[in-house]
Amino acid sequence: MKKLKFSLLLCLGLVACQHPAVEYLDFDTFKVYSVQTADVFMEDGSLNPDIKFMEDGNLDEPETKVAKTEAATLVRDILGVSGSNTLLHIAGIYKGHDVDKSPIELSGKLILPESGPIKNLVLVSHYTIGANYECPSETFPLEAIIASKGYAVVIADYIGFGITANRIHPYMHTESTARSVVDMALAVKPYLKHINREPESEEVILFGYSQGGSTTMAVMDMLQDEYAHEFPIKHVYAGGGPYDLAATFDYSMDVGVTGIPCAIPMIVQGVNVGERLDLDMDVFFEKNLLDHYDEWINSKKYTVKEINQRIGTNDLRDIMTPAGRDRSQGETAILYKALLKNSTLNFYPRSPIYLFHSRQDQTVPFVNAVRAEAYFKGYDIHYDFGDYGVHAMGAVRFVLTVYKELP
């Protein structure tokens, strides 16, 4: 396959038993199970079609104004700012922490330029995915193109994806998802030293959009509190994040619809698992969702868009029970309190942040950016709020803006 040159494939971990001749590599705590190379751009100048873009999960996909610009020129523009075109993709497993903080083996991907010095470690928190085949260790995530400018990009799969795909993903549970990212960084750091690709600077860059935007803020909080010496933070790039889950809940209940139906069961069961609340899903989900959410969400067979299509409606009355929509009562009040607790607007940043949000975003409502602005005002934050289209379009703009801004 010309598009993807396999220079080395060490089938370990999940497929280790099928290839007993392959030696298990153990670099401190980061165990490599596959190494590949992949180009950002193809020989004809087009972007590698294997690069994973965020889906637009909206059921009512709005018309978008496509600029009449020559595509070829635009691709050349990107190619012009690209540094190392060939990237090394190292998927591996590492020792992390479960939701109850007990040890667990997790997976993720490290992406490096094929050669040359590494400037910094970039900790990417990935956006919402549904199918396991979309997880970072299985794909070429769009965020990974940043590696081509001389960065080591670390992307954890989180609990519930990769080698823990059989587990419920603690979606929007800030402590465990941020911990997965930080644990992977801790594992990768000695590994990079081992392969003589240690970054020139100890400072790390944090980066994430959507779910990853919120997780990125939680990672920042965790690094500031617990790993200020190991991982001083150079810059944080967060975009389109649900930083304020409770405000998102309130906003959605007010308007009666959601731009991302699958996020409802994902959040309810994710926060339930993360916080160990032992909530009864019957209280929250209407019958169709209740009957199928386990297969749709937890089988990890379907993408966000496919799950949304199966749910088949944006109307919250068809997705959630009246009790599930009433935050003042019983189990919903317990969930709501947990949503407040899992807000990432509960610390003060000590490094510069670039905060991006599209005012048209209906998937992660703009109220999140407004709340973040209100909370963080006075700190070194560059707010980039504008009319940047729907959520998925914002993702592409955000990633490429960061790509262009990074030296």
Partner 1 sequence: MKRFKLILWALVLLLVGCTGKDIMVTTPVDFTFKIDQVKATKVKFTVDISNPDAHYGYFIANLNMVEVDFAHMTDKQLADYWRDIQKEDYEARTEQRPFGATLADVNCYRGNRTLKRTYLSTDTSYRLVVFQVNPKDFTILGDVQGVSFQTPNVEASDLDFTLQIDGSFLVITPSDNDCSYYWDYESEERIYDDYMTPFGYLYDVVDMYEDYGFIGNVLTKGPVHHDLAQDHLKDGAAYVVVADAYDPKQGELSYPFKMLRFQYRNGTFYTIGEENDDHQD
Q: How far apart are CA 352 and CA 354, in angstroms?
A: 7
Nearer to partner 1, 290 or 340 (CB): 340
The sheet carrying 25-27 orders its strands as 25-27, 30-39, 86-97, 103-113, 152-156, 121-125, 204-209, 233-239, 353-358, 381-386
Q: At its nearest, how many Å lie between partner 1 and the CB of residue 402?
A: 10
Taking the least distance from each CB to partner 1, the nearer of 160 and 394 is 394
* Contacting positions for partner 1 (CB under 8 A): 46-47, 49, 51, 53, 64, 66-67, 69, 71, 74-75, 77-78, 100-101, 224-225, 235, 246-247, 250, 327-328, 333, 336-337, 340, 346-348, 352-354, 359, 370, 373-374, 377-386, 388-389, 393, 396-397, 400-401, 404
Count of H-run helices and E-run strands, the chain: 12, 12
Question: CB-hemisphere CA count at 13 Å for 184?
Answer: 32
**Shortest spacing between CB 41 and partner 1, in angstroms:** 11
Matching residue, tokens 């523009």? 77
**How many CB atoms neighbour CB 340 within 10 A?**
15
User: How crowded is the C-beta side of 68, counted as CA atoms within 13 Å?
Assistant: 0
Between 197 and 327, CB nearer to partner 1:
327
Rounded to a whole number of angstroms, the minimum distance from the CB of residue 196 to partner 1 is 31
Nearer to partner 1, 23 or 225 (CB): 225
Least CB distance to partner 1 at residue 274 (A): 12
Q: Which residue, 36 or 224, has its beta carbon nearer to partner 1?
A: 224
Nearer to partner 1, 131 or 400 (CB): 400
Return the number of other C-beta atoms located less than 10 Å from residue 166's C-beta.
Answer: 10
Q: How far is the CB of 67 from partner 1 (least distance, A)?
A: 4
Cα 295-168-173 angle, rounded to 5 deg: 130
Shortest Å, Cβ 83 to partner 1: 18
- Among residues 97, 95, 158, which one has the least CA distance to residue 123? 158
Q: Which is nearer to partner 1, 144 or 165 (CB)?
A: 144
Q: How far is the CB of 333 from partner 1 (least distance, A)?
A: 5
CB of 348 to partner 1, least distance (A): 6
The two most distant CA atoms of the chain are separated, in Å, by 59
CA distance 138 to 154: 14
CA 47 to the chain's CA centroid: 21
Closer of 50 and 295 to partner 1 (Cβ): 50
Which residues are CB-contacts of 45 (< 8 A; sequence separation ≥ 6)? 72, 75, 76, 79
> Coil, strand, or helix at residue 383?
strand
